Structure 1
Amino acid sequence: MKKEEVPHDKKIIHGEDNSLVKVLYVTDQQGKYETTQYEGWEAENLAMSQAWDDIDERIAQTREKVIRGEVSPIAYFMEKNLMDLPTLASYVGSWKFFVKKHLTPSGFKKLNASKLKKYAAIFNIPVEELTHFKG
């Protein structure tokens, strides 16, 4: 794609400040490759916006489940960090079976300090945020 052909449609990207800009490789007037900033095109931005809306809805639903005591705070932070069970289990270095237990309130209450630290480190939050969930 030539640099002057790069679309710059109105941004509808997720986030409060809409500051997401991508880099695209283009050819200049001499045919050499260079990079240019790219805000996307309307169809791409709309699809991304819809995908982020779905993700935000799943995060909110999981938050409500934590507040109701149906799942542990680990489930919320797993969802918020766009992780699935196999991914989280690999980061924790544990079997999926054990991580699945930790997603339940009863399993979460049995976690020792070192496991809580490990989860907090993976989610990049303080242990207190995990143990005293405020949503």
Structure 2
Amino acid sequence: MKKDEVPQDNSKSYQGQNKLLYAVDESGHYQGVKSSGWEVESFATQLAVDDLNEQTAQALAQARRGEVSPLAYHMLARRFDIASLSAASGFFQWQVKRHLRPAIFARLPAKKINRYCDTLKVSRDVLFSLPSE
């Protein structure tokens, strides 16, 4: 992309900030150029955020019905998935999946609960509860 072709679409997702992109200047060398956003990127970002919000709402509804543990909601509300929560908490992925079952989660020892609390940056009370409607 040439320096004068860098998009400047004032993206909402940038929240008034600029992003550094690299473009080719007149002499053919790469140079850093600030961009205020690109409409296509903004659209794709909004779709991803909407999808994450939908997954979080579904997890909240499932947790309220007792189909999954509150961990499922808190994991998604903090933008973790099973793989990233596993990596951040030190549990294996199969363990995180298992802890999403309400009966298993309710019996977890304090040491394991504390690992989730530390990873998700929530208190024990918050981890075991769900937001009110």
| TM-score normalised by L of structure 1 | 0.77
1:128 aligns with 2:125: yes
> Does the aligned pair in 1 maintain the 2:16–2:36 contact within 8 Å?
no
Please give the root-mean-square deviation of Cα atoms over the aligned residues, in Å.
Answer: 2.5
Please list, as runs of the form range in 1=range in 2, the aligned pairs for 1:36-115 lying within 5 A after superposition: 36-115=33-112
Matched-pair contact (CA < 8 Å) for 2:11–2:42: yes
Percent identity among equivalent residues?
36
In structure 1, the residue corresponding to 2:94 is in which secondary structure?
helix
Distance 1:77 1:88 in 2: 11
Contact residue 12 and residue 46 of structure 1 kept, 8 A = no
5+ long unaligned stretches in structure 2: none
Shift of 1:36: 2.9
Unpaired stretches in structure 1, ≥5 consecutive residues: none
- Structure 2 letter corresponding to 1:61: Q
- Partner-residue secondary structure (3-state), 2:116: helix
Q: How many residues were matched structurally?
A: 132
Is 1:18 paired with 2:15?
yes
In 1, the alpha carbon distance for the partners of 2:17 and 2:125 equals: 31
- After TM superposition, the structure 1 stretch with the greater mean CA deviation from structure 2, 76-85 or 104-113, is 76-85
**How far 1:82 moved relative to its partner?**
3.4
Contact 1:23 1:35 in 2 (8 A): yes
